[in-house]
Structure 1
Amino acid sequence: MYNKHDPPPRTQTSETVVLSSSGSEKVDYFDGVFCYLNKMLMEEDDLTNKPCMFIDSLALQATERSFYDVLVYNPPETEPLEIYDSAVLCDDFNRLSIQYKSRSSSLPGLITDGKPVKKRRKKVVEMVDPTELLMQCGEAMANGDTTETVQLLKMIRKDSSPLGNSSRRMAHYFANAIEARLCGTGPELYRAFSSTSAAQILKSYKAYITACPFHRMSNIFANKSIAKLANTTNKLHIIDFGILYGFQWPCIIQGLSLRPGGPPKLRITGIDLPQPGLRPSQRVEETGRRLIKYAKRFNVPFEYRAIAKTWENVKIEDLDIDPEEMLVVNSVYRMRNVLDETVVENRPRDSVLKFIRKLKPDMFVHGVLNGTYNATYFHTRFRQAVLHFTTLFDMFEATVEHDDEDRKLFERDVFGRDIMNVVACEGRSRVERPEMYRKWEMRNLKAGFVQLELDSDILNEVRAKVERQYHKDFVVHEDNNWMLQGWKGRVLYALSLWKPGNCS
């Protein structure tokens, strides 16, 4: 909840996309996102019977194995604990505790990075700080000390709850993930999140974007940058890697409708992961139908193409590139789900970037979740994940009422889902793999991109909106042509603009 000395959150107002050459407008029509979302929830009854597009597709991706893996039966790298117990599927935590205690005396010294590690017992200190307990538990698990892990987990359980304060809520979801890792059930429990209905997730997402500026400000900056670039073009083609429900585009459609001389012909190619079943592109196509209706409402000539593939499998011929169109490629906060070179030898992240470079877009809009919890070594990844999610839960504690049901749902089915994947899944099953924005910068440069300067007017407008309309601890900064957003000094999201360089 808000501190009594802080200003209350303000109601979102109608704002419009920058379209004039001066770039002086200060409005962005972000309420179009709320109208678009409300229309979905009110008119599409089947959303209550459908799983969330994002969760379901990622869960499917987490179950896939490459053809090479199938041929040679080469399992993903496992941590020391799973070497001994990867086949154990326990029915309950108490049985797991008894089982491990009965075996602990007969296990040899565990092997980490090729060297034997002596089993060591660390005195468990009685304390009530769940974050410190989590850190101790993660260290014990990384060292293969199952007895201490179990004892610490019991202590965490006693002092954590999905209804407690921010640290206790976070500890609850980490405890679930730790237990799943001990049991070897992480991938199954992660896939189980796909049973949550799309309607529930979207309702909770509405609460999230109301309380937190990250997605709104990313959309404002990206859309205004695109609109300024396309100010005089008659044809604009946007290729969106990771379109999901298309929430970024109602704002720009509404803004383009007001352009002097009329809007350009707008074409959006929406790319997202295939869904399970016989119609892998169904939900990506549904996004297109919603956007078509929205474009008709504002008399914007509009075409949509749906592609349901993993990013690295998209081909140029899939995209129907027209050299007369201004081409923009957009990927905001979804590249983290593309597997990296620690899992797949052909470096799919670099392959996707090189493919985008071959398209020769007039602009590549790249937004990244700035995360440090993608380390191969479990203890490092666990510690960084605790720090990251501490920030997220603290942010929600300060900006949303304690008993808000949508906040509880978002924490359970979004934060809790991601924690489960980061802590309890390995190999291809771990699809949450964020990297620091500086590492993405190196990847982009290596792929042949040149970074564009940020528009200072748009950046200052974003910063002013955050200072005026949101909690005082949200921050907007600029670093080497990256727009950074965060909470209490910790950078959570970064966005930048690129174009292909002259190299072949």
Structure 2
Amino acid sequence: MTSQTTSQWSFGSLKSVSDNVNGPMDSFASSNIVSNIFSGSESILQFNRGVEEGSKFLPSNNQLIIDVESYTFRPELKEGSPEVLVKVEKDDVENSPNGPRGRKNHQREDSNFEEERSSKQSAAYVEEDELCEMFDRYLLCTDETGQPGFCDIDEEEQIEVTKASQRNGQPNGSSGGKTRAKKQGNKKKVVDLRTLLINCAQSVIAGDSRTANEQLKQIRQHSSPSGDGSQRLADVFANCLEARLAGTGSQIYAALASKRMSAVDTLKAYQLYLSACPFMKFSIFFANRMIADLAMKSAKKKLHIIDFGILHGFQWPILVQHLSCLPGGPPELRITGIEMPLSGFRPAELVEETGRRLAKYCERFKVQFQYHAIARKWETIKIEDLNIFNDEVLAVNCLFRFKNLLDDTVAENSPRDAVLKLIRKMNPDIFVHTVVNGSYNIPFFVTRFREALFHYSSLFDMIDNNMPREDQQRTIFEQEFYGREIMNVIACEGSERVERPETYKQWQARNMRAGFRILTLKQELVKKARGKVKRDHHKDFMIDEDGQWLLQGWKGRIFCASSCWVIA
């Protein structure tokens, strides 16, 4: 703005202020006063003298008058200098406490906004770079010659975890966690936390809140989220009993379920679990090997995988890597990723993001790729939604996620049976089915509580024997994954209880009723899995087979089972 417009604004403002304060002024008197100020020769002479002396202190090119529309900023000012801005703000604060505070605040806010936006963008790029690096490190593998190979674990990572376990007094085949627990038991009074938890569950279901609160208080004294396996287990179960007692289980679980972990944090916890426990990686190894062998033997040059519960797609990068190395060249790959819809305006955001990430791997390994994302309730999907063609090998895959479908006890038309009927209509060349082997899908609360307690007691014992207690990722895994599941099992009922595992024998009967026939288990895969468990993992891990199911467990308890099916 020019000095003329500034003067007009100033005196106009002054007039409006005086009108408001002193009331209306006579127009003649007002004009007389103004004329006396500017018309006297003495006043004009003094004014000119002041301007002349004041001009000596002004720059020659008068940079104080700026025409905003025609003024061009210097390049260095366009780029900005945060250091200079910070310094000016500091000087203004120290030397001019009564200065133009409004303008200073605007400068500081604009600077902070630009800095925050820049830092957020940088953080996004850093997270994406970190995620790509972690995917390469944990989800791909190379053989001894450095070439892509078809393996299921990162051998170097496993060696490091084994060394860490040995340093913590937990060598393979030992019971380090139990030894520490016994030493602690000599100093403190031994408490049977399982019995306390079961008694508390009985008080909760009986509505005896006073007794239940006293029992919870006693459990709290002997539980800890950072203690040994039994203490961590008791802490999680006590939280769930407290939520059920207060009637807030559904709200707490909904909040936990809606909380989205970033792919980086999920992969870090997932990697720790892979390194310490073989369940997930052998299930992935089994599924990928069966699908890859089928694609290699088929004369068709297209492979279509329909994945129920694809989530972040951790299973597929290594399969893409393996397909790229096939002697006759890789087949065209098409993946239909199916997930439950997210709440909000973008229900398919997660599954679409997974597709973009997998597309980068296919481009990297030169595998032709198409992706179709579906985010709907699985029982509402129709055969027409899947775009199945006759010139492709069709593989249907589901790892551990059928347990989240409602069963006959809740819905009249069981979603489990509906999805199995849909798969039968697809007529797949192979249906790879891996299930959580659990018997805590029972309507009666105390019985369900007891079965869940035994199941997760073994899991927490397994973690305690194979993961360092001070590892932050272990705590995240226990709280974010197991803690959320247990909250649903203990504190939710009806259609809100979505953690409903069945035993592998129950699933076998259900699959056969739906019209499937189980395929013969390949003994070479069983032999290889047993060898890797014996060589790389704790002696209490077990690999077994029963009725063409590949079983995995810990200390005699079976946790998961894998099998392959075709239409009968």
C-alpha separation between the residues in 2 aligned to 1:437 and 1:345?
A: 23
- Of 229, 244, 248 in structure 2, the residue corresponding to residue 185 of structure 1 is 248
Matches within 5 A, 1:165-244: 165-193=228-256, 194-195=258-259, 197-198=261-262, 199-233=264-298, 234-244=301-311
Structure 1 or 2: more helix by fraction:
2
> What is the aligned partner in structure 1 of residue 350 from structure 2?
283
Q: Where does residue 341 of structure 1 map in the other structure?
A: 408
What's the CA shift for 1:464? 1.1
Read off the aligned partner of 1:256 and give its amino acid letter.
L
Q: Is 1:261 the counterpart of 2:328 in the alignment? A: yes
Which stretch shows the higher mean deviation, 456-465 or 396-405?
Answer: 456-465
> Aligned-pair distance for 1:164?
1.1
Please say if residues 220 and 462 of structure 1, whose CA atoms lie closer than 8 Å, have aligned partners that are also in contact: no
SS of residue matched to 2:297: coil
| Cα distance between partner residues in 2 of 1:272 and 1:30 | 25
Deviation at 1:251, TM superposition (A): 1.2
In 2, are the aligned partners of 1:162 and 1:408 still within 8 Å (CA)? yes
Unaligned stretches of 5+ in structure 2? 1-137, 158-188
Identify which of structures 1 and 2 has the higher relative contact order when contacts are C-alpha pairs closer than 8 Å and 6+ apart.
1
The residue identity in structure 2 corresponding to 1:266 is L
* Equivalent position of 1:438 in the other structure: 505
Looking at structure 1, the residues matched to 460 and 242 of structure 2 have their Cα atoms a distance apart, in angstroms, of 21
Kept in 1, the 8 Å contact 2:140–2:317? The answer is no
In the other structure, the counterpart of 2:531 is 464
Letter in 2 for 1:195: K
Runs of at least 5 residues in structure 1 that lack an aligned partner in the other structure: 1-10, 17-24, 35-125
The residue aligned with 1:14 is 141
Residue of structure 2 aligned with 1:369, choices 436, 445, 456: 436
Shift of 1:432: 0.6
Contact 2:141–2:318 (CA under 8 A) maintained in structure 1: no
Secondary structure class of the residue paired with 1:267: strand
Shift of 1:140: 2.6
Rounded to whole Å, the distance in 1 between the matches of 2:538 and 2:152 is: 21
* Residue type at the aligned position of 1:273: M
Amino acid paired to 2:566:
K
Q: Alignment partner of 1:497: what SS? A: strand
Q: TM-score, normalised by structure 2?
A: 0.67
Q: What is the match of residue 215 of structure 2?
A: 152
What is the CA–CA distance in structure 1 between the aligned matches of 2:558 and 2:297, rounded to whole Å?
Answer: 35
Q: Name the % identity.
A: 51
| Aligned match of 2:204 | 141
Q: Note if 1:486 corresponds to 2:553.
A: yes
Which of 445, 450, 455 is the matching residue for 2:517?
450
Structure 2 CA distance, aligned partners of 1:358 and 1:197? 35
- Please report how far the alpha carbon of residue 349 of structure 1 lies from its aligned counterpart in structure 2 after TM superposition: 0.5
1:29 deviates by 5.4
The residue number in structure 1 matching 2:485 is 418
Q: Is the contact between residue 140 and residue 321 of structure 2 (CA under 8 Å) also seen in structure 1?
A: no
> How far apart in 1 are the matches of 2:549 and 2:238?
35
TM-score, length-normalised on structure 1?
0.75
Q: CA deviation at 1:127?
A: 6.1
Structure 2 match to 1:117 = none
SS in structure 2 opposite 1:231?
A: helix
Q: Distance in 2 between matches of 1:158 and 1:232?
A: 60
Distance 1:216 1:185, change over 3 A: same
Q: Are the counterparts in 1 of residues 433 and 562 from structure 2 also a CA contact under 8 Å?
A: yes
Structure 1 residue 142, shift from structure 2 partner: 3.2
Q: CA deviation at 1:419?
A: 1.0
CA distance in 2, matches of 1:460, 1:378: 40
C-alpha distance in 1 between matches for 2:154 and 2:372: 25
Q: 1:13 to 1:344 in 2, by over 3 A?
A: closer
CA distance in 1, matches of 2:515, 2:537: 37
Show the 5 A alignment for 1:21-36.
Answer: 27-28=150-151, 30-31=153-154
Name the counterpart of 2:192: 129
Aligned-partner Cα distance in 1 for 2:389–2:140: 37
Does the CA-based 8 Å contact 2:150-2:318 persist in structure 1?
no
Q: Deviation at 1:298?
A: 0.8
CA deviation after TM superposition for structure 1 residue 416, in Å? 1.0
Deviation at 1:31, TM superposition (A): 4.4
- Structure 2 residue matching 1:431: 3-state secondary structure: coil
Does structure 2 conserve the Cα–Cα contact (< 8 Å) formed by 1:29 and 1:254?
Answer: no
Mapped contact 2:152–2:284 kept (Cα < 8 A): no
**Would you say the 8 A contact 2:152–2:285 is kept in 1?**
no
Q: Distance in 2 between matches of 1:235 and 1:385?
A: 43
Q: Report the AA paired with residue 395 of structure 2.
A: V
* Matched residue, 1:498: 565
Distance 1:29 1:380 in 2: 37
Counterpart selection for 1:400 from 463, 467, 478: 467
Any conservation in 2 of the 1:235–1:325 contact (CA below 8 Å)? yes
Does the 8 A contact of 1:28 with 1:255 survive in 2? no
What is the match of residue 379 of structure 1? 446
Task: Determine if contact 1:15/1:30 at 8 Å carries over to the other structure.
Answer: no
Output one character per residue of 1:314-335: Cα deviation in whole Å (capped at 9) or x when no partner.
Answer: 1111111011101010011000
SS in 2 for 1:476: strand
The size of the alignment, in residue pairs, is: 391
Cα separation, 2, equivalents of 1:15 and 1:334: 29
**Cα distance in 1 for residues equivalent to 2:469 and 2:260:** 22
- For residues 354-375 of structure 1, give each alpha carbon's deviation from its aligned partner in whole angstroms, at most 9, with x where no partner exists: 1101110010000101111110
Query: Bigger radius of gyration, 1 or 2?
Result: 2
Distance verdict in 2 for CA 1:377–1:456, change over 3 Å? same
